[in-house]
A = this chain, B = another copy of it.
Amino acid sequence: MSLKSIGIDIGGTKTAVAAVDSSGKLHARTVFETRSNRGFAAGLADLSKSIHRVLNDSGWAMDELEGIGIGCAGPVNPLRGTIHNPYTLPGWEEADIVSALRHESGLKVILENDADAAAVGEFRFGAGRDASPLVVATVGTGVGGAALLNGQIHRGIKGEHPELGHIPVLPGGPVCYCGTQGCWESLASGTAMSLAGKPFGLGDSRAIFAAFPDNKRAREIIERAVNATATATWTLLHTFLPQRIILGGGIGEAHFELFAAAMREQVRAATQIPKDSVEIVRAQLGQDAGVIGAAALAFQNTNP
């Protein structure tokens, strides 16, 4: 029998809410602008309205649901159920979103970092099925990732989320807000690529890829991003030692073969790990990864 849940994917710009069943099928979906600076009460009202809307659209009732899963642009505290992301969600500092939605819905509500939620989605419904350890890396506007062990989210100190995008790869590289220079994100993110292309009038990462491989500067910027991803792959192989690395994100999915070739070369070169079965695969859930992954959180803990 198919179970039902609501997935909520909260980003700095947009929030998506969807009705998803336990086969991963999306029955209804709505998107609105997050505008966190209006404060948390206004955001909560939007969420509540959207939940009722997708329930209505899918013909589901609140009391049929297993629960509500939230993937939110981190940092979040999954144990306390609170958001503390002043950069991307200003106005929602320390918002106790889990208690608020639990109170309103009467349901179990689970909050995770969005990268963790997406990883759970890929593990349950996408490219990560049956893989352990599993690392899901997303290369897009930013670079992030998550690790799952037997389908369970790897948590660091205080239950928080490791920031794989800030793995160091190039000493003396671009300065990053994370506190170091030359981390993976500072070299491979869309933001980093745009920034590197600016002095040469290259535009955003999409324009840089369009100019590849003819334009020498574009080539250099893309090679730098690919090399950074290759080095970060070596790090992942020698820390989590995953059975599978899923590459996702806007850039990672659009240019999967380019990045995957460099990542697989690292796997082949490694002598100290049982590498023969390490797989590099493309994310499968696409643009709905966020809401589907969030919804999967509700199944994850009820139906393991």
Contact = CB atoms under 8 A, between A and B. Distances in A.
A160 B278 CA distance: 12
Given A169-B168, A171-B170, A234-B180, A273 B163 contact: yes
A87 to B, nearest CB: 10
A274 B157 contact: yes
Contacts of A105: none
Interface string A236-257: 1011111100000000000000
B177 A271 contact: yes
Contacts of A2: none
A35 interface: no
Nearest to A244: B157
What number of copies of this chain does the assembly contain? 2
A138 to B, nearest CB: 15
Nearest to A278: B157
A285 B14 CA distance: 52
A150 to B, nearest CB: 10
Interface in A241-292: 241-243, 266, 269-274, 277-278
Contacts of A169: 168, 171
A179 interface: yes
A99 interface: no
Contacts of A133: 155-157
B278 A179 contact: no
A235 interface: yes
A75 B271 CA distance: 11
Contacts of A162: 238-241, 273
Given A154-B149, A168-B231, A160 B274 contact: yes
A149 B152 CA distance: 12
Closest 4 CB pairs of A and B: A156-B241, A179-B269, A162-B241, A157-B243
7 contacts: A156-B243, A158-B277, A164-B238, A164-B239, A178-B238, A178-B271, A179-B272
Given A155-B241, A157-B243, 9 more contacts: A75-B274, A157-B241, A157-B273, A158-B277, A166-B270, A166-B272, A168-B234, A177-B272, A239-B240
